[in-house]
Amino acid sequence: MARYRGPVGKVSRRLGVGISEKGQQVLNRRPIPPGQHGPSARRRQTSDYGLQLLEKQKARYMYGVLERQFRRLFAHAARRSGVTGEYLLSLLERRLDNVVYRLGWATTRAQARQLVAHGHITVNGRKTNIPSYTVRVGEAIGVREQSRSRTYFKNLVDSGELYRYHAPEWLRLNATEMVGQIVALPTRRDAEPDINEQLIVEFYSR
């Protein structure tokens, strides 16, 4: 299963935004680009193409999507009527690994992806181990009954974290049953606020 396995701190410093909690911690300690020219790199003028490329890379790394997958998602969004950039972000939010993350069952998208890949997650009661699966309105996302007895999930329930967690409005969480319902499509305000989707559209429209 292909995914980025490199240093998240280095990527976060290059993009200027934390692509994960760990990446944000590294960025807070060293808020300059990596490399021996890091301090001066921030002062250099970036071209329009460079800004568009950085924004596309930012979205890719934040959602854990490889280049080919991201290009396919954009092509899908571009075929739809409406605002392409906003629909692209909606597709990214509707990835199964992101939904697991948004339901509070994982602290990072990488961890959520692992939970899905290891077969702990169900869609409408059926085990689904494809992190890129796109959820639909009305579908129920749950933790497999066999997995709920595992220490990780038991700690989530016993600690009360899930009962204090507030899921986004487009999701409905039943903390006791460890089931989430897709009640609406995610909107722009539900996606990552640090992404400028218009620059991504401009990048692929060159």
Distance between CA 100 and CA 35 in Å, rounded? 35
- Please report, rounded to a whole number, the percentage of residues in the chain having pLDDT higher than 90: 71
Residues 173, 163: Cα–Cα separation, whole Å: 9
- Position 24 confidence tier, pLDDT thresholds 50, 70, 90: low
Q: Are residues 137 and 102 in the same domain?
A: yes
- pLDDT tops 60 at residue 38: no
Q: pTM here? A: 0.83
190, part of any domain:
no
Q: CA 175 to CA 192: how far, in whole Å?
A: 24
Percent of the chain with pLDDT over 70: 79
CATH number of the domain encompassing residue 105: 3.10.290.10
Query: Domain limits at 76?
Result: 8-92+195-204
Indicate the number of domains in the chain: 2
